[in-house]
């Protein structure tokens, strides 16, 4: 009697896809049978073959994290051949660059594609001291913690109304039915824009976020849409100026009133008003709405977490912080060097564009243990705080509002008691800087 090989399957194998019976064969050879294309001889590729970072490649929209890890480990000071920009990926270097506003300036733009070029002079985020200091000071009161916390009840009411509306619809897109209108509602009251204009502003935002995956630059319509927004903001500012001239309250804490008041005192130039307002308006929409969709993504990925949060709501702020780390809504910003700057022993020349990868820094294993694991028990200390809101003189002014919006949204969404699932295929924003979804179909299922 012939002896069968030790690992020979005694029953015929069945193809898991077609259900067809496959010829009996050695189990160990199954994967590498003669029908596969596995190389007969392994030839090692050059060491840098899978280190290629270009934020515009589809792979990076899809899943940037393995490339980030390769950069951190093997090329922490990387030069992107396609874009001609330097890239910093380790937490230590990203944070140092944020803090080095003298050698790494913002006034040549803080992104790689000139998104903010049309914002005009008052664009705070693309200014260096001393103008930056003056502009930031002009809107400081808008962001005072007391002012922000006083918005909680209003935000909650809006969240409840949007959830009610979503639940009454057959088909729900969380991005356009919740994340964007929620962010617009918060933004218009913060900035002092009329709520009735939200549909116009929404249309403008969607156009201005348009980009082509794989291609650098702002498409013409996106640039036109930014210019239209500036014209619109100028009209609202002029109207507010007229109201104030007629004796209306100059002490309101919204951005437009505060900027107009600062301009009356000579602290903000007349031609800086619109750019400053536009920057705050757009900063208060794109990243916060991306964060909300990332929360929904995490809800869908870890449904047991939703149950846990419902039973343990005190952990919601910690959950929000971990989403901000795990799926960083603003993946990168850029700076321009004024002189040579050295990181990890590598010198970046003067006049170079440098990208700071916050999305990678937030996954740096040198700072965060098991960074690819979603873990809401992390201890975010001074040395391991998330870098999602930047650092140094340009650190995000809206961080407390973004955290509050996210907390309220999570509380209200989980209070429903329903299971929420992503049902359908979501779409990401094509603007490389923003990681979040422009379309995210969901369904509410009554919990058993």
Applying CB under 6 A, which residues contact ligand HEM?
106, 110, 124-125, 136, 190, 280, 283-284, 287-288, 291, 329-330, 333, 388-390, 394, 396-398, 401-402
Q: Residue 339 Cβ, how far from ligand HEM at the closest point, in Å? A: 19
Q: How many CA atoms lie within 13 A of 421 on its CB side?
A: 6
Three-state DSSP state, 249: coil
Q: Least CB distance from residue 405 to ligand HEM, whole Å?
A: 7
* Shortest distance in whole angstroms from residue 137 CB to ligand HEM: 10
Is the Cβ of residue 179 or residue 280 nearer to ligand HEM in the bound state?
A: 280
Strands 172-173 and 104-105: unpaired
Query: Least distance from C-beta 55 to ligand HEM, angstroms?
Result: 15
* Least distance CB 421 / ligand HEM (angstroms): 24
Looking at beta carbons only, is 211 or 325 nearer to ligand HEM?
Answer: 325
Q: How many CB atoms lie within 10 A of CB 350?
A: 12
Burial class (CB in 10 A: 0-12, 13-18, 19+), 324: buried
Q: How far apart are CA 160 and CA 144, in angstroms?
A: 25
Query: Judged by CB, which is closer to ligand HEM: 281, or 368?
Result: 281
Closest to ligand HEM by CB, 275 vs 444, is 275
Measured from the CB atom, the residue of 190 and 430 that comes closer to ligand HEM is 190
Distances (CA, A) of 134 to 122, 124, 370: 10, 9, 41
User: 363 phi and psi, to 5 degrees?
Assistant: -115, 20
153 and 165 Cβ atoms separated by less than 8 Å: no
What are the backbone dihedrals phi and psi of residue 353, each rounded to the nearest 5 degrees, phi first? Answer: -85, 135
Q: In the bound complex, which residue of the shown chain has the CB atom lying closest to ligand HEM?
A: 398
H helices of 1-113, in order, are: 58-62, 65-74, 91-99
Q: Which of 298, 444 has the CB closer to ligand HEM?
A: 298
CB of 14 to ligand HEM, least distance (A): 49
Dihedral sign, CA of 296, 445, 438, 289?
A: negative
Pairing status of strand 419-422 against strand 104-105: unpaired
- Helices 303-311/286-301 angle, 10° precision: 100
71 or 139: CB nearest ligand HEM: 139
Distance of closest approach, residue 440 Cβ to ligand HEM, in angstroms: 16
Whole-number minimum distance, CB 131 to ligand HEM, in Å? 11
CA atoms within 13 A on the CB side of 101: 19
Which residue lies nearer to ligand HEM by CB, 106 or 225? 106
Q: Could you give the angle at the alpha carbon of 294 between the alpha carbons of 183 and 109, nearest 5°? A: 65
Closest CB to ligand HEM among residues 181, 398: 398
Considering the complex, what minimum distance in angstroms separates the CB of residue 363 from ligand HEM? 15
Select 320 or 430, whichever has its Cβ closest to ligand HEM. 320
**Of residues 68, 66, 95, 89, the one with CA closest to residue 77:** 89
CB of 16 to ligand HEM, least distance (A): 42
Q: Is 446 exposed, middle or buried (0-12, 13-18, 19+ CB in 10 A)?
A: exposed
- CB count within 10 Å of CB 256 equals 25
Q: Minimal distance in Å, beta carbon 101 to ligand HEM?
A: 9
How far is the first Cα of the chain from the last one, in angstroms, to the nearest whole number?
Answer: 58
Of residues 263 and 444, the one with the C-beta less far from ligand HEM: 263
E strand spans, 89-179: 104-105, 172-173
């Amino acid at each position: 009697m012939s002896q069968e090989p030790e690992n020979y399957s005694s029953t015929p194998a069945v193809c898991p896809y077609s259900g067809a019976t496959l010829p009996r064969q050695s189990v160990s050879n199954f994967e590498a049978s003669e029908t596969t294309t596995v190389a007969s001889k392994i030839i090692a590729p050059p060491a840098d073959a899978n280190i290629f970072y270009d934020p515009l490649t589809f792979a990076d929209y899809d899943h940037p994290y393995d490339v980030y890890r390769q950069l951190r480990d093997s090329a922490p000071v990387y030069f992107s051949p396609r874009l001609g920009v330097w890239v910093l990926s380790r937490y230590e270097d990203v944070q140092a660059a944020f803090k080095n506003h003298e050698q790494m300036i913002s006034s040549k733009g803080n992104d790689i594609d000139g998104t903010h070029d049309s914002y005009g002079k008052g664009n705070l985020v693309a200014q260096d001291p001393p103008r930056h200091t003056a502009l930031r000071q002009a809107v400081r009161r808008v962001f005072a913690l007391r002012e922000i916390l006083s918005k909680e009840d209003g935000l909650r009411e809006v969240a409840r109304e949007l959830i009610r509306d979503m639940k009454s619809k057959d088909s729900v897109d969380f991005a356009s039915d919740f994340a964007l209108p929620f962010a617009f509602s918060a933004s218009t009251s913060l900035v002092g824009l009329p709520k009735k204009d939200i549909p116009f502003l929404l249309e403008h935002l969607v156009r201005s976020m348009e980009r082509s995956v794989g291609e650098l630059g702002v498409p013409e319509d996106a640039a036109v849409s930014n210019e239209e927004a500036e014209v619109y903001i100028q009209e609202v500012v002029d109207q507010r100026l007229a109201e104030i001239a007629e004796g209306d309250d100059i002490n309101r804490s919204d951005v437009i009133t505060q900027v107009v008041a600062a301009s009356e005192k000579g602290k903000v130039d007349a031609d800086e008003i619109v750019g400053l307002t536009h920057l705050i308006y757009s900063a208060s929409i794109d990243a916060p709405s991306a964060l909300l969709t990332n929360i929904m993504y995490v809800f869908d990925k870890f449904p047991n977490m939703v149950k846990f949060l419902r039973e343990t709501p005190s952990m919601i702020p910690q959950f929000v912080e971990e989403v901000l780390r795990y799926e960083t809504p603003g993946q990168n910003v850029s700076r321009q060097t004024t002189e040579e700057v050295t990181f990890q022993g590598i010198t970046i020349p003067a006049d170079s564009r440098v990208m700071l990868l916050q999305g990678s820094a937030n996954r740096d294993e040198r700072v965060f243990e098991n960074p690819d694991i979603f873990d809401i028990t992390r201890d975010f200390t001074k040395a391991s705080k998330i870098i999602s809101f930047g650092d140094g003189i340009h650190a995000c002014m809206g961080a407390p509002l973004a955290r509050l919006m996210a907390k309220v949204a999570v509380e209200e969404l989980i209070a429903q008691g329903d299971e929420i699932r992503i049902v359908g295929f979501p779409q990401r924003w094509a603007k490389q800087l923003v990681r979040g979804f422009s379309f995210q179909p969901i369904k509410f299922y009554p919990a058993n």
